[in-house]
Amino acid sequence: MKIDQDLIRKFEEQLDPQNIEASGIPAKLVGFGEISSIIALQDLPGMVLKRMPMFPDVASAENYLNTYREYCSLLNAAGLKLPADDTAIIKKSERLTVLYFAQQKFLPEQIGNKVLKSLEKAELEQFIERVIAAIYSVWRFNKSQDKYQLAIDAQISNWAYVVDKNELYYIDTSTPLFKIDGIEQLDPELILTSAPSFGRAIIRKFFLADVMNRYYDEKSVNVDLVANLYKEKLANLVPLFIEKINERSSGKLTEEEVAAYYKEDNFIWALFLSLRKIDRWLHTYLYRKQYQFILPGKIER
Confidence of residue 190 (pLDDT cuts 50, 70, 90): confident
Is residue 108 predicted with pLDDT exceeding 90? yes
**% the chain with pLDDT above 70:** 98
Tens digit of each residue's pLDDT (9 = 90 or more) over 50-84: 999 889 999 999 999 999 999 999 999 999 999 99
The Cα 13–Cα 22 span in angstroms is 13
**% the chain with pLDDT above 90:** 68
Distance of CA 235 to the CA centre of its chain: 21
The Cα 53–Cα 90 span in angstroms is 9
Going along the chain from its start, the domains and CATH numbers come out as 7-104 (3.30.200)
| Beta-ladder partners of 50 | 38, 101
Helix (H) or strand (E) holding 103: strand 96-104
Mean pLDDT in the chain? 92
Is residue 189 predicted with pLDDT exceeding 90? no
| Beta-carbon count within 10 A of 293 CB | 21
Pick the closest to residue 36 from 63, 5, 13, 68 (CA basis): 68
Tens digit of each residue's pLDDT (9 = 90 or more) over 210-255: 888 999 999 999 999 999 999 999 999 999 999 999 999 877 899 9
Give the strand pairing for 96-104 and 47-55: antiparallel
SS3 sequence, 207-254? Answer: CHHHHHHHHHCHHHHHHHHHHHHHHCCCHHHHHHHHHHHHCCCCCCCC
The Cα 127–Cα 156 span in angstroms is 11
C-beta of residue 158 within 8 angstroms of C-beta of residue 135: no
